[in-house]
């Protein structure tokens, strides 16, 4: 009878335990998401431009759970950015129902209040104001709140510390790299303690190494703060970081796929 190496047996056992734990964590997270309430509810949402000749959204139905990380993919002109704009009340629907974080965006007239209290925006171009300091840029969303000047500054510095840029707080954005500017944009998006972060191609203008750091930062903040994260991207490798991937084509949702069921060979046509 061949001798059995106990170390090999123990290694295999450890691998099995680790695999089981990873599966258990995924199942637990999926279950927790399934049991939470919807933070986004959209029904038959339509939006067109050029007097109806361009149908950007053509009957979208969508539900997103509180605390979920969702990626929206699709080719250029598919309607994904229009959908993100609708979620952030940056555009108005022609028809349909859109409820986000307790606000009926088809009826509510206080859209500025909704944006300032519920939404954090991160765009491909960071949209920082170049002639004021980094910390002042982060403070901007706080001015509609009730914080004192000292409280705003303290919170802004805390957020910059989270993204690893507290030491750059007095610099102007023009003195920083593209990756650093995008991290400032993340800090600014968190300034109003939003229920939802909307990210439109947040790594689209960055190199792969910097993109990875930004995505790790976003994913970490999403998990630690349980913020709902909705991200538009062309990159399937980026999309697959999410809990769920939604594919949009011709203004409609083509597929909504759980991360664990994704096809590695899925192709996004440009």
pTM of the entire structure? 0.78
Contact 224, 257 (CB under 8 A): no
- pLDDT of residue 24 exceeding 70, the answer is no
Indicate the average pLDDT of the chain.
83
Looking at residue 17, its pLDDT comes to 47
Per the structure block, which two tokens stand in for 89?
């009340």
Comparing C-alpha atoms, which of 161, 143, 160 is closest to residue 152? 143
Query: Quick one: which of 90, 79, 97, 123 has its CA closest to 41?
Result: 97
How does pLDDT run across 114-164, given as a tens digit for each residue? 988 899 988 877 789 999 999 999 999 888 778 899 999 999 999 999 888
- Residue 5 pLDDT: 55
Sorted by where each begins, the domain ranges of the chain are 67-89+110-261
Q: For residue 21, is pLDDT > 50? A: no
What is the pLDDT, as a whole number, of residue 228? 94
pLDDT one-digit tens code per residue, 213-270: 888 878 888 888 888 999 998 888 888 889 999 999 999 999 999 876 655 544 444 4
User: Which long-range contacts does 178-184 make (Cβ < 8 Å, 24+ apart)?
Assistant: 178/205, 178/206, 178/210, 179/206, 179/210, 179/213, 179/214, 181/126, 181/128, 182/122, 182/126, 182/206, 182/210, 182/214, 183/213, 183/214, 183/217, 184/126, 184/128, 184/134, 184/137, 184/138, 184/160
Spell out the CATH class of 67-89+110-261. Answer: alpha beta
pLDDT in tens, 193-227: 889 999 988 877 777 877 888 888 788 888 888 88
How far is 240 from 258, CA to CA, in rounded Å? 9
pLDDT above 80: residue 1: no
DSSP reduced 3-state for 255: strand
């Amino acid at each position: 009878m061949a001798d059995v190496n106990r170390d090999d047996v123990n290694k295999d056992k450890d691998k099995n335990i680790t695999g089981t734990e990873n599966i258990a964590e995924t199942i637990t997270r999926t279950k927790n998401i399934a049991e939470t309430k919807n933070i986004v509810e959209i029904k038959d949402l339509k939006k067109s431009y050029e007097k109806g000749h361009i149908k950007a959204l053509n009957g979208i139905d969508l539900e997103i759970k509180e605390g979920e990380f969702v990626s929206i993919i699709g080719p250029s002109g598919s309607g994904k950015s229009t959908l993100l704009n609708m979620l952030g009340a940056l555009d108005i629907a022609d028809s349909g129902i859109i409820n986000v974080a307790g606000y009926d965006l088809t009826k509510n007239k206080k859209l500025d209040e909704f944006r300032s209290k519920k939404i954090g925006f991160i765009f491909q171009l960071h949209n920082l104001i170049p002639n004021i300091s980094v910390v002042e840029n982060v403070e901007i969303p706080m001015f509609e709140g009730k914080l004192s000047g000292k409280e705003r500054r303290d919170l802004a510095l805390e957020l910059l510390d989270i993204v690893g840029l507290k030491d750059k707080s007095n610099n102007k954005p023009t003195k920083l790299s593209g990756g650093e500017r995008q991290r400032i944009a993340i800090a600014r998006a968190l300034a109003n303690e939003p229920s939802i972060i909307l990210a439109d191609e947040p790594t689209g203008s960055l190199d792969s190494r910097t993109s990875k750091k930004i995505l790790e930062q976003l994913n970490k903040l999403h998990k630690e703060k349980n913020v709902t994260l909705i991200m538009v991207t062309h990159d399937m490798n980026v999309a697959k970081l999410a809990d769920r991937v939604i594919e949009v084509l011709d203004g409609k949702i083509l597929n909504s796929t759980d991360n664990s069921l994704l096809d590695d060979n899925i192709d996004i046509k440009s």
